[in-house]
Every structure is written in structure tokens, then in C-alpha cells.
């Protein structure tokens, strides 16, 4: 996925988050791989258990979990400083789950990529 020319950083990052939500709806990680850096990581708690490691863990969970056609964004907060950015994304009904996700992004060769995803699973 290449960044659209003429879009500012906030718009480019918002487009990445839109791709993330569309990936949730599709239930396939293939559409998400282009927005994460190959060395990206994931971390969060699922009940008492730590869910942490390479982003492949998220891809595997996502593929097994299936489509989330009703997923919706509750709130998005984007902060950009130069080539670094952070995003908070509150989402609901990801196959019945509600999450608050925190992403860190880096602009590499003019392209924003997610380097980490830290999540909070509500209700567990």
C-alpha cells in the first residue's frame, strides 16, 4: 500500500486505521499485512494471560476469529511528531469483543507503518 500524494500525515494514518477496520470486517489478515512493519509486535492481556509476541500472533488470531461485519469505531486519537506517531483506536463488536488499541507508527521512506499494537480487551 503506497501513501497517497497530497495527503497529510494525519490523513495517511487515518487511512491506515480505515484499512485496519476493513481488515476486521473481512476476517482475513492478508489485507492487514501491508499496514504493519514486518518486525511489528502485539501485546495485551486476555483474561489473566499475556498475549504478546510478533505480529504473526495477531494475524493467526484474526484468521481463526473470522469476519467482524458489525465492527465499528467508537473513537480515534492520532498524535504525530515528525516521523513518529501514536494512535488510540476504540472499537466495538469485533466478533462480540470491545477493544482499545494503541498503535505506534513510524514513517519509513515516506510511508507510515505500524510497528506495535498494544490492546486492552474490555470485559475480560
- Whether 16 maps to a domain, the answer reads yes
Whether the model pTM is above 0.85: yes
Count of beta carbons in the 10 Å neighbourhood of residue 5: 6
Tell me which residue range forms the domain holding 20.
9-121
pLDDT tens digit sequence for 78-88: 999 999 999 99
- Whether 4 maps to a domain, the answer reads no
pLDDT tens digit sequence for 12-36: 999 999 999 999 999 999 999 999 9
pLDDT tens digit sequence for 86-100: 999 999 999 999 999
Instruction: Count up the domains in the chain and report the number.
Output: 1
Give dist(CA 16, CA 84) in Å, integer: 14
- Whether 27 maps to a domain, the answer reads yes
Tell me the CATH number at 107: 3.10.450.50
- Whether 3 maps to a domain, the answer reads no
pLDDT of residue 105: 98
- Whether 75 maps to a domain, the answer reads yes
Give dist(CA 21, CA 49) in Å, integer: 25
pLDDT tens digit sequence for 37-60: 999 999 999 989 999 999 999 999
Amino acid at each position: 500500500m503506497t501513501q497517497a500524494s497530497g495527503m497529510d500525515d494525519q490523513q495517511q494514518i487515518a487511512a491506515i486505521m480505515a484499512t485496519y477496520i476493513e481488515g476486521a470486517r473481512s476476517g482475513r489478515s492478508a489485507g492487514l499485512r501491508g499496514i504493519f512493519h514486518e518486525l511489528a509486535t502485539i501485546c495485551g492481556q486476555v483474561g489473566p494471560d499475556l498475549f504478546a509476541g510478533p505480529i504473526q500472533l495477531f494475524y493467526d488470531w484474526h484468521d481463526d476469529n473470522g469476519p467482524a461485519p458489525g465492527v465499528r469505531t467508537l473513537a480515534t486519537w492520532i498524535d504525530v511528531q515528525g516521523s513518529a506517531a501514536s494512535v488510540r483506536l476504540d472499537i466495538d463488536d469485533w466478533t462480540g469483543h470491545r477493544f482499545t488499541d494503541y498503535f505506534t507508527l513510524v514513517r519509513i521512506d515516506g510511508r507510515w507503518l505500524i510497528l506495535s499494537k498494544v490492546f486492552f480487551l474490555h470485559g475480560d
